[in-house]
Amino acid sequence: MMKHIYEKMLCLIALLLSVTLTAAVGNAREQNRQQNTVRYSSGTGFFVSRQGQIITNAHVISPCGDHQRVTFANHRTGKTPREARVVAVDEKRDLALLATGYRPERIAYLRFGHDEVKPEEEVMLIGYPNARSVDSPYVVATSTIKALEGPFGEDTWLQFNDAARHGNSGGPLLDLAGNVVGVVTAKSKVMRMNRFSSQRELIAESDLAVTSEELRRFLDEYSVHYNQEESGYLLSPRRIETMAQSYVVHIFCSTESN
């Protein structure tokens, strides 16, 4: 009886930070003023190759449109943002590949596929949540793996406990060896709706990451030369942070309209 009354729904919340600024541009010789609106979208990415290729989420760069200007920065590259070019976008996987002319001093390593992630395994997030400018500092958070599939059994996602914030999209989910086990993507809320009363009730909530297996497939499709490593040797959180701050970057793009 109950399964006929209630219906489950999945709500995904992208962890993209969007800011709209309206600037008044005036001419001293004229009385009228023109309003220019600048829209910024902010997320996270990370270097996956020595050639300076960056992974982020497709939804991080999609708000900027066809004439997008995508930039990246971290404290290693300096506060002046550098430009990146969109090479590939996979909307289904929610992944995007960016090319840069920058040669990073360190890149992210993916965890070997045969070294399976386990429920309750501790993980770390390093990204740029709630950033208001391109030189905003990174933020470190810790969490644990909740499930090795999405809320409805999707094998392209894994779930981890609440730790991500708006702006973490596109950043790496790292194990305690400092290897990438996923790409932070969204928050999920599984709602239950009573068909008679039309009332919705939250029954499950988690953060989502694209699995490293899906990331590998995406990188292979575009012939990206990435590195993998075993996760047997654990590192201190401080050591992981020190390593990651070289390859985790703030992704920032803007569009301007009158």
pLDDT digits (tens, 9 = 90+) for 107-154: 999 999 888 999 999 999 999 988 777 678 899 999 999 999 998 899
Contacts of 62 (CB under 8 A, 6+ apart): 89
Paired tokens of 54 = 């960056």
Confidence at residue 24, expressed as pLDDT on a 0 to 100 scale: 31
Contacts of 195 (CB under 8 A, 6+ apart): 4, 5, 6, 7
* 12 close to 187: Cβ distance less than 8 angstroms: yes
What are the extents of the domains in the chain?
2-24+36-257
* 204 close to 18: Cβ distance less than 8 angstroms: no
Confidence at residue 29, expressed as pLDDT on a 0 to 100 scale: 33
- Report the pLDDT averaged over residues 60-82: 76
DSSP state of 62: G
- pLDDT by residue (tens digit) across 40-57? 778 999 999 999 999 999
Reference 147, options 123, 176, 178, 165; nearest CA is: 123
On the question of pLDDT at 255 being above 80, the answer is no
Instruction: State the chain's mean pLDDT as an integer.
Output: 82
Reference 97, options 65, 64, 53, 60; nearest CA is: 53
Reference 94, options 208, 221, 17; nearest CA is: 208
- pLDDT by residue (tens digit) across 171-199? 999 999 999 999 999 888 877 776 676 77
* Model confidence band, residue 13 (pLDDT cutoffs 50, 70, 90): low
Report d(CA 15, CA 198) in Å as an integer: 28
pTM value is 0.83
Confidence at residue 225, expressed as pLDDT on a 0 to 100 scale: 97
Q: Which residue has the tokens 């990188």?
A: 219
- Which class would CATH give 2-24+36-257? mainly beta
Reference 8, options 189, 255, 234; nearest CA is: 189
Report d(CA 218, CA 154) in Å as an integer: 17
Taken in order 54, 60, 66, 69, the sign of the CA dihedral is: negative
* 210 close to 58: Cβ distance less than 8 angstroms: no
In the chain, count of helices (H) and strands (E)? 4, 16
Report d(CA 76, CA 97) in Å as an integer: 20
DSSP state of 29: T
H or E element, residue 2: helix 2-5
Q: What is the CA radius of gyration of the chain?
A: 20
